[in-house]
Structure 1
Amino acid sequence: MGEENIIREPLLKKKYYENCPGCKVDLAKEQNPRLSIPNLLIIWMVVISASLPVSSLFPYLYFMVKDFNIAENEASISSYAGYVGSAYLLGRTLTSALWGLIADRYGRKPALLLGVMSVVIFNTLFGLSTNFWMALIMRFLLGSLCGVLGPVKAYASEIFREEHQSIGISTVSAAWGIGLIIGPALGGYLAQPVEKYPNLFLKGSFWDKFPYFLPCIIISVLAFAASIVCFWIPETLHKHNDGNKSTDEAEALENEGVGTEKDKIVKKKENIFLNGPLMASVLVYSIYSLQDICYQEVFSLWAVSPRQLGGLSYTTDDVGNVLSISGFALIIFQVCAYPFIEKAFGLTITTRVAAAFAIPCIQILPFVAMFSGAVLFILISIASVLKMVLGMAVTTGLFLIQNRVVEQHQRGEANGIAMTSMSLFTAIGPATGGALLSWSQTRMDASFLPGTHMVFFIINIISVVGLVSLIAFVRDKKKTSSDEQN
């Protein structure tokens, strides 16, 4: 490559390639130290549109399967509904690593665009399903093709300056969590509109023929808007393929000033599965994901259980109110508080402390059930907020660590591996959580951890395993490098 194709910054002592999209982003970050709010909003929009379909079907899935008339009896409806719910996770498990490789090979932007467009197509078709097999296939294809979460984590770690990375990654985890909360609310309020809003949706109309289409099309419209926005986002992947420069030099440029170019070329050829810090963080992330999905399943079922079984006798609206408060608090924490806490105490310490304090927030829930009325609502809301905020702090910390312990050329693959592992763990979570809760409610008079004390104790065993693994194996790359130098 000739010298005319290189933009030089003498003060920064770093060169940028004129036709490289990653170099353009890096140059823009060097010249503008401020946080890019538009990029933050774009990431938020993309993640929300990808997370809403994951759980939006849960409130109406039972009735949808019942309408298909495939179940032999009413008791088997839940089994067929479970197949549809698991189809998404199965598809995501099979293709997450592939989408990471696509993001590393062809760029973050194409992976995000294709993933969001898959929501537009297959989520809409799912709402138009007329039989069980169509619904099952649409959910499987949606899970297989919406490989957004891995690439968007890599993108968020690259589009912002280093001092703003924590808020970028925390935006991803917060938006994903909020989507999982808002999704069921949309499904619950908008499904079967002819029955719920007869003045707006007439009997015998299109909405009566497809009673579950409204929540799906609302989500698809949002995803369509996000896909349009994706056309305008900058690509962050470095591509230096001109002249006689090798693609390995792109990696050397990105990490200029740390080691030699030969070191970078050797590192580029390393097997990602031999990256110990990455594999450790992926394992801990999977453990905490299992704990979180079990907790979410148990919390909702426990809250609506009758008092005599240790529950709260809440309605679905009451549970929705608690989760809405938790979601609002989560947004405030992730945007306004987490970046400053992470900067003040460090990534590793913040993640470990959050994991430790989340344990008592879970175990205290059966004691909260002893109260009633407004006091109960206030206490359960506080406990839910603390659990959700602390859990999201752990997830965000692990996201940051996963993206810091690999170089850019493997970042998409690393996030894909993390998504695959997480999907495998979480696939067993809902069924396991429901079974544990049912079992615990059969031992209300036990002398050791009676009733629901047991199910939350078992969930905390998973939390303790995750905490011990986090302390023993997972460290921030920057801290490790500093210790080695000292």
Structure 2
Amino acid sequence: MEEEEEARTISTSKFKDDGEEQEVEKEKITPLPKLQLFIISIVLVCEPLTFAVLLPFIYFMLKDFHLSDDEKQIGSYAGWITSMFFVAQFCTAIIWGKISDRYGRRTVLLTGLLGNAISSCLFGMSKSLSWAIASRTLCGIMNGNAGAARSMVNEITDKTNKAKAFSLFGFCWGLGMIGGYLVKPAEHFPIIFGNSEFFKAYPYSLPCFAASTASIFGFSIGYFFLKESNPIVIAKNHSIERQQNLNPDKSTTTEKAGSLRDVPSTSIIVISGYFVYAIHSMVFDEVLPLYFTAPKYAGGLGISTQEFAEILSFFGLVQIVSQVVIYPRLTRHFDILSVTRWAFVLIVPVYVLFPELTSIQNWSLKIISPFLNFGSAISRGVAENSGGNTLTLAIGYVILLSIRCVTTASTFTGFNLMVNMSAPSEILGIVNG
């Protein structure tokens, strides 16, 4: 127990801000358990796939439901569908955390993958708002993967390689955002799907089936190759005597799972910060597809599903670069808490400037218009679709969204590390939930 406390004290010193120069021990870095991390990465890719699969087409799906001709009302419906996943996940996260502490991380991960597969198929076959909301709610209820995966990664790593291992989460999230090209296959891929009455009747089912297939594949890999990491479950599956011989110092901590009362105050503070960032990050992710795909007269940019899928794929790659290249370099020179704080600061101008870019474009058109021939419709068309103006707007979006990718990678990874460093192993499932 003393060794565990000492290890936790050393690791948490990485993110404490006491104003003094920190002493970093030069230790030999433990090699990462590559096979287990690879299997976990396959599992993790399925969650962003399930979340992001609807983003390119949610606006167009709702239009096909013929609920309303009011574009803003459609945006409200889209908010209900996208938010129900996170609301349901929020309500069940601690429950899944307790289950993972008592019965194992592997059990929760495999259950979540099956839930993803079933709910994705159901959502792809939605023909009404109530069906779409119910299927997304089911997906959130069944999905406790993120917390269980964080706990598992923490348990199979140590303080020398933990930061590198936790970069896996942002990498997999970025990888899962690359896609979204399979909407309306009968229309976009007529040679293959043109004669399929099913895909004509359910034009949004193919991308959901693809996400479901990925979850089934992840379940198959996890079932055969993923090893349990929870010491409580390991102790149950092996003799108590053998467990004490292997790790006598931890024999008392693995007999019984912890409870909410055991969560330390440091973990509560870190989780509160995590909660604040996660809320506004999810709101931004939900509003983004509506802003890009809604028609211009309703305040959007009016781009197609294919174009938005390309945008998501591009920034999925930016997210991967941010996670794999930029964040590790930052943590070599700065402590985790400082990087997280600066990421919080940098996200503010992104949120302030992002919705104002179209206003800036319209303002610049008013400045340009006196120099053009007002009597010519062609000149007005040139002004409204000026290549330079469009390029400037596109550059602005790229810069702001790229900054957000870097801040997201830094903040989420930093919080994941701090949460796991601040809590003992017997309540990892609870704090990660």
On the 8 A contact 1:305/1:313 being kept in 2, the answer is yes
On the 8 A contact 1:251/1:409 being kept in 2, the answer is no
Cα 1:386–1:405 shift into 2, 3 Å:
same
Q: Distance in 2 between matches of 1:44 and 1:191?
A: 26
Q: Distance in 1 between matches of 2:193 and 2:199?
A: 7
Q: Distance in 2 between matches of 1:312 and 1:218?
A: 28
Q: What TM-score results when the alignment is normalised by the length of structure 1?
A: 0.66
On the 8 A contact 2:322/2:405 being kept in 1, the answer is no
Q: CA deviation at 1:168?
A: 1.8
2:374 maps to 1:377: no
Please state whether the residue corresponding to 1:162 is helix, strand or coil.
coil
245-254 vs 267-276, which moves further: 245-254
**Aligned match of 1:235:** 228
Q: CA deviation at 1:158?
A: 1.8
2:193 maps to 1:198: no
Give the AA of the match of 1:190.
L
2:115 maps to 1:123: no
**Aligned match of 2:249:** 253
**Aligned match of 1:403:** 420
Q: Does 1 or 2 have the higher relative contact order (CA < 8 Å, sep 6+)?
A: 2
**Aligned match of 1:48:** 45
Cα 1:247–1:161 shift into 2, 3 Å:
closer
Q: Distance in 2 between matches of 1:209 and 1:309?
A: 28
* Matched pairs, number: 373
140-149 vs 307-316, which moves further: 307-316
Aligned pairs (5 A) from 1:21-100 = 33-65=30-62, 67=64, 71=67, 73-75=68-70, 80-100=77-97
**Aligned match of 2:199:** 207
Q: Distance in 2 between matches of 1:311 and 1:209?
A: 28
Q: Distance in 2 between matches of 1:130 and 1:177?
A: 29
On the 8 A contact 1:97/1:413 being kept in 2, the answer is yes
On the 8 A contact 2:170/2:319 being kept in 1, the answer is no
Q: What TM-score results when the alignment is normalised by the length of structure 2?
A: 0.73
* Residue in structure 2 matching 1:162, options 159, 162, 181: 159
Q: Distance in 1 between matches of 2:289 and 2:92?
A: 30
Give the AA of the match of 2:92.
T
**Aligned match of 1:345:** 334
Cα 1:42–1:387 shift into 2, 3 Å:
same
2:317 maps to 1:328: yes
Please state whether the residue corresponding to 2:113 is helix, strand or coil.
helix
* Residue in structure 2 matching 1:283, options 272, 283, 288: 272
Q: Distance in 1 between matches of 2:110 and 2:399?
A: 38
On the 8 A contact 1:362/1:387 being kept in 2, the answer is no
Deviations 1:290-328 (A, max 9, x none): 222333345555556899999777666665545433321
Deviations 1:91-120 (A, max 9, x none): 212211111111111111111111112112
Deviations 1:18-69 (A, max 9, x none): xxxxxxxxxxxxx993233333332222111122122322433344455556
Deviations 1:405-450 (A, max 9, x none): 111111011111xxxxxxxxxxxxxxxxxxxxxxxxxxxxxxxxxx
Deviations 1:240-275 (A, max 9, x none): 356666999999734x9xxxx7xx699976744652
Please state whether the residue corresponding to 2:193 is helix, strand or coil.
coil
Aligned pairs (5 A) from 1:85-484 = 85-179=82-176, 181-182=177-178, 185-186=179-180, 189-203=181-195, 205-231=197-223, 232-238=225-231, 239-241=234-236, 253-254=249-250, 271-272=260-261, 274-301=263-290, 320-365=309-354, 366=356, 369-370=360-361, 372-416=389-433
Give the AA of the match of 2:201.
K
Percent of matched pairs sharing the same residue = 27
Unaligned runs of 5+ in 1: 1-30, 417-486
Q: Distance in 2 between matches of 1:116 and 1:265?
A: 27
Q: Distance in 2 between matches of 1:272 and 1:384?
A: 40
Cα 1:269–1:374 shift into 2, 3 Å:
closer
Deviations 1:194-219 (A, max 9, x none): 22332322346222232222111111
121-130 vs 391-400, which moves further: 121-130
On the 8 A contact 1:302/1:312 being kept in 2, the answer is yes
**Aligned match of 1:447:** none
Q: Distance in 1 between matches of 2:122 and 2:291?
A: 33
Please state whether the residue corresponding to 1:396 is helix, strand or coil.
helix
Give the AA of the match of 1:372.
N
Q: Distance in 2 between matches of 1:67 and 1:314?
A: 17
